[in-house]
Amino acid sequence: MAVDLLVIHNISLPPGHYGGGHIEALFDNRLDAAAHPYFRDIASLKVSAHLLIDREGNVTQFVPFDRKAWHAGQSSFQGREACNDFSIGVELEGCDDEAFTDRQYERLIEVTRLLMEAYPGITLDRIVGHSDIAPGRKTDPGPCFDWKRLREGCR
């Protein structure tokens, strides 16, 4: 299926804490359930994103863009179910109630522009948050995410 949607997420592990390699361990299916009480419930999850942009703006790719990543879960966009089938997922290290860093926005804009060139179906109106495709279930990237900054940077 053609890729024509970009989904922006946020993640921090444990919630509200940055660094430590826990996100990478989760996406690589090697998160130690004993390392933190929060991890007990999520260590067995089989989830992934195409990219992670950490607080310093470093980009890590987990899944090739031409392969499905398991980032959206139960989801729908404009009447199409199972957004994992036609989307690219980008995780920003962060949480709903804290601003993202300038370096994260710089990298996200850079990555988004490249993805829009490589996948013409991804247009500004087809860049959404996890909350847009899973309303009531997901809240990310959250109210602190600056949609205007991203869209203006990608024009």
Instruction: List active site positions.
Output: 91
Q: State the pTM of this model.
A: 0.97
Segment 73-84, tens digit of pLDDT: 999 999 999 999
Give the other-Cβ count within 10 Å of 129's Cβ.
19
- Take residue 62 and report the two structure tokens written for it: 């987990």
Which domains does the chain show, CATH number per domain? 5-153 (3.40.80.10)
| Parts of the chain with a pLDDT under 50 | none
How far is the CA of 119 from the CAs of 1, 78, 100, 126, in angstroms? 12, 18, 26, 11
Alpha helices in the chain (DSSP H): 22-27, 102-118, 130-133, 147-153
- Take residue 99 and report the two structure tokens written for it: 């601003």
Segment 116-140, tens digit of pLDDT: 999 999 999 999 999 999 999 999 9
**How is 97-108 classified by DSSP, letter by letter?**
TSPPPHHHHHHH
Question: Residue 31: which residues within 8 A CB-CB, separation 6 or more?
Answer: 13, 22, 25, 39, 42, 43
In angstroms, how far is the first alpha carbon of the chain from the final one?
A: 26
Residue 124's nearest CA partner among 144, 153, 102 is: 153
